[in-house]
A and B are shown apart, each in its own frame.
Chain A
Amino acid sequence: MDSRDPSRLVAALARNQINVDLKTVDLCFLAGLYIRADRLASFEEDMLVDLFEQVCDVVEPGAENPRKRATHAIQRLREQRMLARVDGAGIVRAGEYALTRLAAAIVEYFLADEALTRESLTLLTGALRAQLAELLAAAKRAQTSEAWKQSVIGPLRVTVGDLVQGIERRQRGLDAQQEEVQAEIASLLHADWFGAVERCQSLLDTTTTTLRELNEVLLRDTHHFVALLQEIQTIATDAGNAEAEEAVQRVIEHVDRIAAWGAARQRAWSDYYQFVHRYLRDVVRLDPDRALSQRLRAQIAGWTELPFHVLVAYAPSIRLLRPLEARVDRPAVTRARADREPDPSIVAPEDALADLEALVRAALADGAVELVDVTGRLLGGVRPELRYAMTGRIAELLARLAHVKSERERPWRTAFERIEIEDWRVAPRGLRR
């Protein structure tokens, strides 16, 4: 029972870039090793190579350079933590290898036929019940926290946990078996149609019986398990042992899951059973030559040429009238009347450009000969926001009113605060007419 945070676990797996990539030949090689591991604790390198060559002969006969392939396969399996070197001799001598837990689990999945049967379930539930009874007795005796740990919490996590997981594993095996039965029924009908009816019925009945029996055992025994576990939990609560309480709670949740599996599978199988049963009776038995499908296919293909439409009853929903409301005349949306056109008022005429020209003329008459001088004089009387524009206009007026003496290099000079201009001169008293 793993209590690690799933998101951390996922993040750790992603960070370490864990992946498993097994080819058929790798899997067969592992299976061969697994079977031999019954007699041998570890394998010498030569033995691994020999076995790989044997596997290669079966899986890929005629493959070239099997020894080289064996070396690569061993390396690949070591990188994927399927094989572990166990001798620790380094380069001193050829290594000894053993299958890891991961490799054993993968091979077991393919080799073991661990579907739940009435016998295996009864055996497992019996062992679990005996174990829980012992734990209850131990819980009653436990006086110290150490005693709780050794005689209750430890066995709960290991022995009971293993037994419960054993049942769950076999449940998954039975799920896979059911899927196979469903696929087999479909393939039997495909292959033999009417001739497959009896065989399909027999498959359906066998699985139904198995599920019903298992569910009966589960219903009866899980009830006992929960009762025993709750008793242990009560004793743990009285003893103030939170760790034991939590351990018991985890097992209770597991047992609840096992019971829920039984009910859910029986319900799902019942739906499936009814469907197939009706199918066999209404479709297969009534159409032993399987002619209906062919005729229907032809009907669909020709439907656009000879269309027909199925008729169905069509009574619309009862119309509910809205309650009567007296009509209210709403006034039109209006705006208060107001004179929105104010009368024109008399304002003093304004001709800034004419004024400016007069000022430029006055400055020239006053003896100014440099643009920077004229500009500096005039900008003082201009509003700050207009100074920039006026600077250009002053230059334009000056160029128009006087003869400009242009120089090749015109210096940049400050005309007014924050305004610099390229300066040039005009001829003195050279006012144009």
Chain B
Amino acid sequence: MTASTFQSLEDVIRDGHFPDTDLALRRGRHIGRDDGAAYEFLVDAADHLEPFYRRFGCELVQRSDGYFYLLPSGDKLGRRHLSAGEMLVGQTLALLYLDPSTVQHGGVLGRETLLQRLAGLVGTESLVRTLSPRRRKFDERVAAETVRTQVGEAVRKLADLGFVDVVDDGRLRLRPALLRFAEPVRGLEDPTRALEKLVIRGEVILGDAGNTGDDDSTSDDEGSP
């Protein structure tokens, strides 16, 4: 064990930061350096909390990029997979996080930049069909409005999960946790093989696992994959 200010799990649980941090982790939030005290608490208490969460069938994951998250592997704690909209927005934000242009503004970017990049990468039609798979006919104006709404909703959910901070109505601050979306291509191995490994570790699921459509994008996936 590294030098921790906590002598025992009891000390950790007694700490004032524990309740909020624990609840945030269980709700899927990624806690990073930007979260200040909560992150410091996790760094300090990680040695005690890892076995603690293991008893709930979860792994407390710490990434070298500077964030923690909880990864359920059993059926004791619920889990969900991100919707198609959240995945597309998350991957695009990860790409923007890597872009030197974002560095100029300290990781802050406008929603318009996100929409432009998303449309440029995926293509407008493909984007509309992915975000609204049940619709067969599209009016251009309505489709654009739908895309903006779906992207806005995805951003809100990604913010709840600690991937971005919403600075104001028009701007977002990108957080290192976005690199989770780039995980399949971070190594030099074949992306398909890397994805398989991530599936085995319970980090991702493959396939068309439910879409946003016009419904609520939350897709519960309680229990084993």
Contact = CB atoms under 8 A, between A and B. Distances in A.
B152 interface: no
Contacts of B84: 307, 309
Contact of B204 (A271, A287, A308): A308
A94 B185 CA distance: 76
Contacts of A291: 188
Given A182-B104, A301-B121, A301-B122, A311 B91 contact: no
A307 B206 contact: yes
Given A310-B90, A312-B161, A313-B69, A296 B103 contact: no
Contacts of A388: none
B79 A314 contact: yes
Query: A interface, by DSSP: helix, strand, loop or mixed?
Result: helix
A409 interface: no
Contacts of A383: none
A359 interface: no
B159 to A, nearest CB: 13
Contacts of A296: 91, 94-95, 98, 181-182, 185
Contact of A190 (B100, B161, B184): B100
A308 B205 contact: yes
Nearest to B181: A310
Given A278-B33, A304-B122, A311 B79 contact: yes
A315 interface: yes
A194 to B, nearest CB: 12
Contact of A183 (B97, B104, B107): B104
A24 interface: no
Nearest to B32: A278
Contact of A315 (B78, B99, B101, B161): B78
A309 B82 contact: yes
Contact of B91 (A278, A303, A317): A303
B79 A293 contact: no
Given A186-B101, A276-B106, A308-B205, 7 more contacts: A296-B98, A296-B182, A299-B185, A309-B209, A310-B180, A311-B71, A313-B77
Nearest to B98: A293
14 contacts: A182-B103, A187-B100, A190-B100, A282-B176, A296-B181, A303-B122, A308-B198, A311-B205, A311-B225, A312-B79, A312-B80, A313-B77, A313-B79, A314-B80
A205 to B, nearest CB: 16
What is the interface residue range for chain B against chain A? 35 or more
A271 B122 CA distance: 32
Interface string A170-211: 000000000000110111011001000000000000000000
Nearest to B210: A309
Interface stretch (B3-11, B20-28, B42-50, B138-146): B20-28
Interface in A272-302: 272, 274-276, 278-279, 282-283, 287, 291-293, 295-301
Most chain A CB within a 10 A radius of its CB, from B84, B95, B103, B204: B103
Contact of A311 (B80, B83, B184): B80
A304 B70 CA distance: 27
A312 B180 CA distance: 11
Contact of A276 (B25, B80, B83, B103): B103
A316 interface: yes
Contacts of A183: 104
Nearest to B203: A311
Given A296-B98, A308-B184, A313-B78, A189 B25 contact: no
B103 A275 contact: yes
Contacts of A189: 100, 103
B2 interface: no
Interface in B195-214: 195, 198-199, 202-209
B220 interface: yes
B132 interface: no
B158 to A, nearest CB: 10
B185 A295 contact: yes
B77 A299 contact: no
B94 A309 contact: no
The 6 closest A-B pairs by CB, nearest first: A312-B28, A189-B100, A295-B185, A186-B104, A309-B81, A315-B26
A296 B80 CA distance: 23
A219 B42 CA distance: 35
B220 A310 contact: no
Contacts of B203: 310-311
B170 to A, nearest CB: 18
A303 B87 contact: yes
Interface string A313-332: 11111000000000000000
Contact of B58 (A193, A272, A306, A313): A313
